[in-house]
Chain A
Amino acid sequence: MNWADLNLMPALPEIFMIAAVLVILMLDLFISDAKRCITYGLTLLTIAICAGLQVYTYAPVPEHTFSGMFVNDALSALIKLCMYGATAVVLVYTRQYNETRGLFRGEFFTMSLFALLGMNMMVSASHFVSLYMGLELLSLSLYSLIALQRDSVKATEAAMKYFVLGALASGLLLYGISMIYGATGTMELAGVAKAIKSHNANGMLLVFGLVFIVAGLCFKLGTVPFHMWVPDVYQGSPTAVTLMVGAAPKLAAFVFVLRILVQGLDAMVDQWQGMLALVAVLSMAIGNVTAIAQTNLKRMLAYSTISHMGFLLLGLIAGTADGYASALFYAIVYVLMSMVSFGILLGLSRAGFECETLDDLKGLNGRNSWYAFLMLLTMFSMAGIPPLAGFYAKLSVIKAIVDIHLYWLAIVAVMMSLIGAFYYLRVVKNIYFDDAQDSSAIVMRADMKLVLSVNGLALLVLGVMPERLVVLCVEAMKHSLSAI
């Protein structure tokens, strides 16, 4: 490669974003605390422009650049647009919360943008080195976002745990990658896939590397037995950061797994199918059962996340294009659901009061019936009750599993979903049938109220009319994973 034929167009949104981050970093120095909303506005504007550029640079045929390290395809475009949306919505939700807790600082916005850039790189990478760099960029931003509330012992502890365990997982992943590199002699995903298919690689070394890679990936997704960080991080972080950790990064992690396992190690599907099936069953079981015992809502949602990631894996286990598309649909719906649930928690929190236990939601219907209804929609959707989006998402991943005749796995998934319904319904019971413990008025900014309503109703709309998004997911998979 030389400079003359370096095509920067496919990476235009990322290039714009890094330039914008640098500008915002500089401008923010000259903005006083009272006018911090300028930084906030600029951040949202940056995300909007990036989304525009993303649509502008869309290419139906995958475009490779930077010597095959970066790819712009339909899958990455769809996921990136979702991540821009998720990050923007998270910023809107967290504004009020951050303002009352001294978190409404320039660093919060720049680090969010850094995290978004890292996620973009994870989604668009087609080489182990760029995949890894994107992952580290995301992780480092998240660690520091969690620790940003320096005087909170809980937040510092959560950041420390996440950092140490995250470093360990990165180590596992790198070790696995080095084995794959040793076996195939290349780090480019397409090259790895080709080398494995042509049986030129040492099979023993490949399986050895795969075990470590799957372990590292499971950690990043937060699935059993690598899930221990999830509850502590969700509970310990300020709710605003919990939302940041729980929303868009899940999408990025999903595509990250898809790129490595499906694009790179597709020929080893028999090996990773078994590993993932075990992980999925354990995640659904331990996530759902442990969530029942939680009284802290953030911790409960963390365990619910673990079980949702188990369901997500079902789509990957299927190993078919439809299965991948259903997992993609599940990931998008999951992010929508987690944003509403944490958004409501953020809205109910106020200066000096954290809304984070089950008791805090008691009698919400009497205080504000609209938020109560939105929370009801979310909980029903998470439990998988029709006609909400969560039902359709669960149905499609289970259908993918049934299609490859893994009936036992489908039965386990349905049973686990039944167990999970208990704790989701308990939240609904608290909201509608219990007496309120505090009756203070709920103050929410108008823009947040609007976005939250749209976000909540989207679950209903997607549940009734999922076709549009399903078609998008299937098309994106078809265009991007042309090999399968």
Chain B
Amino acid sequence: MDITTVIFYILSAVLLFAAVRVVTAKNPVHAVLYLVLAFFTSAGHWLLLQSEFLAITLVLVYVGAVMVLFLFVVMMLDINVEKLREGFWRNLPVAATVALIMAFEMVLILTNQHTGLGEFKAAAPLAADASNVKVLGRLLYTTYLLPFELAAVVLLLAMVAAIGLTMRSRKDTKVVDPADQVKIRRNDRVRIVKMQAEKNVEAADAAESGEQQA
């Protein structure tokens, strides 16, 4: 057993432990922290596969940005943990059955000789100075230049759409503009209505009797 295998097993053990704790932790903040640990450990797995760029991206994007955001949300929300846990034991048998079936299916595929998995062999080890970032960058900016630019356009569109959909003057806000309040004139607030001082008695009587009949 060489050193990479040992590291692989250690990382896997930590990953499994963290993943289980994400589901079982009582405190949601702890659950998120365990999720961070799970991501970080999977980044270690990427490193073992010699994909340092993916490992760094996973840590930077998921751990650095997404999970921190998530942590904020979890801390802000008032989550009733007891309510979420209701029915945990009741649903456990079904969940366990599903998990067992999934595990069984995976074993079936992985141990079957006829699935042709042998065609997909592990990649040959890279040279010591091989750089993932360089290769990915070269591919993205040459062969896949067009899809890369299009992805940028899609992101721009998403931004425009998000702003276009949310930036609007809502009718139900009670925001006041002090400048408008200062500039107010009498005519804006007071309406002078001209009406007759006395009303025609006969017409009024007729209207009243009409209402009564109705």
Say which one of B37-45, B101-109, B145-153 lies at the interface with A.
Answer: B145-153
Say which one of B18-26, B68-76, B156-164, B190-198 lies at the interface with A.
Answer: B156-164
Q: CA A133 – CA B158 in complex, angstroms? A: 13
Q: CA A385 – CA B168 in complex, angstroms? A: 47
Asked if B147 and A147 make an inter-chain contact with CB atoms under 8 angstroms apart, the answer reads no
Contact of A114 among B146, B153, B168 (CB under 8 A): B153
Contact of B150 among A2, A110, A121, A141 (CB under 8 A): A121
Within 8 A of B (CB), among A103-143: 105, 107, 110-111, 114, 117, 121, 127, 129-130, 133-134, 136-137, 140-141, 143
Q: Is A69 an interface residue (CB 8 A)?
A: yes
Asked if B165 and A144 make an inter-chain contact with CB atoms under 8 angstroms apart, the answer reads yes
What 0/1 readout, one digit per residue, does chain B (122-156) give for beta carbons within 8 Å of chain A?
A: 00000000000000000000111111001101100
Contact of B160 among A25, A121, A137 (CB under 8 A): A25
What 0/1 readout, one digit per residue, does chain A (277-308) give for beta carbons within 8 Å of chain B?
A: 00000000000000000000000000000000
Q: What residues on B are CB-neighbors of A11 within 8 Å? A: 146
Q: CA A67 – CA B151 in complex, angstroms? A: 17
Asked if A137 and B164 make an inter-chain contact with CB atoms under 8 angstroms apart, the answer reads no
Task: Write the chain B residue with the least CB distance to A137.
Answer: B154
CB-CB under 8 A for A137 and B157, given A107-B164, A150-B165: yes
Asked if B161 and A140 make an inter-chain contact with CB atoms under 8 angstroms apart, the answer reads yes
Asked if B160 and A133 make an inter-chain contact with CB atoms under 8 angstroms apart, the answer reads no
Asked if B158 and A70 make an inter-chain contact with CB atoms under 8 angstroms apart, the answer reads no
Asked if A137 and B150 make an inter-chain contact with CB atoms under 8 angstroms apart, the answer reads yes
Q: What residues on A are CB-neighbors of B164 within 8 Å? A: 105, 107, 111, 144, 148
Asked if A130 and B147 make an inter-chain contact with CB atoms under 8 angstroms apart, the answer reads yes
Q: What residues on A are CB-neighbors of B144 within 8 Å? A: 67, 69, 129
Q: What residues on A are CB-neighbors of B153 within 8 Å? A: 18, 114, 117, 137
What 0/1 readout, one digit per residue, does chain A (137-163) give for beta carbons within 8 Å of chain B?
A: 100110110011011000000000000
CB-CB under 8 A for A66 and B146, given A25-B160, A111-B157: yes
Q: Is the interface of B mostly helix, strand, loop or mixed?
A: helix
Q: Is A483 an interface residue (CB 8 A)?
A: no
Task: Write the chain B residue with the least CB distance to A70.
Answer: B146
Q: What residues on A are CB-neighbors of B158 within 8 Å? A: 140
Q: CA A240 – CA B206 in complex, angstroms? A: 51
Q: Is A446 an interface residue (CB 8 A)?
A: no
Nearest CB in chain A: distance from B131 CB, A: 18
CB-CB under 8 A for A67 and B143, given A107-B164, A144-B165, A150-B165: yes
Nearest CB in chain B: distance from A467 CB, A: 37
Q: CA A129 – CA B165 in complex, angstroms? A: 28
Nearest CB in chain B: distance from A66 CB, A: 4
Q: What residues on A are CB-neighbors of B161 within 8 Å? A: 107, 111, 140-141, 143-144
Q: CA A147 – CA B146 in complex, angstroms? A: 29
Q: CA A137 – CA B161 in complex, angstroms? A: 12
Nearest CB in chain A: distance from B162 CB, A: 8
Q: What residues on A are CB-neighbors of B165 within 8 Å? A: 144, 147-148, 150
Nearest CB in chain A: distance from B98 CB, A: 21
Contact of A1 among B143, B150, B160 (CB under 8 A): B143
Q: CA A25 – CA B157 in complex, angstroms? A: 11
Asked if B146 and A111 make an inter-chain contact with CB atoms under 8 angstroms apart, the answer reads no
CB-CB under 8 A for A136 and B154, given A67-B142, A69-B146, A130-B146: yes
Task: Write the chain A residue with the least CB distance to B167.
Answer: A107
Q: CA A147 – CA B165 in complex, angstroms? A: 7
Q: CA A184 – CA B89 in complex, angstroms? A: 47
30 contacts between A and B (CB under 8 A): A1-B142, A6-B145, A11-B146, A18-B153, A25-B160, A66-B146, A67-B142, A69-B146, A70-B146, A105-B164, A111-B157, A114-B153, A114-B157, A114-B160, A117-B153, A127-B147, A129-B147, A130-B146, A137-B150, A137-B153, A140-B154, A140-B158, A140-B161, A141-B161, A143-B161, A144-B164, A144-B165, A147-B165, A148-B164, A151-B171
Give me 9 other A-B pairs in contact (C-beta within 8 A), A111-B160, A144-B161 excluded.
A2-B142, A18-B153, A114-B153, A121-B150, A129-B147, A133-B150, A133-B154, A137-B150, A144-B164
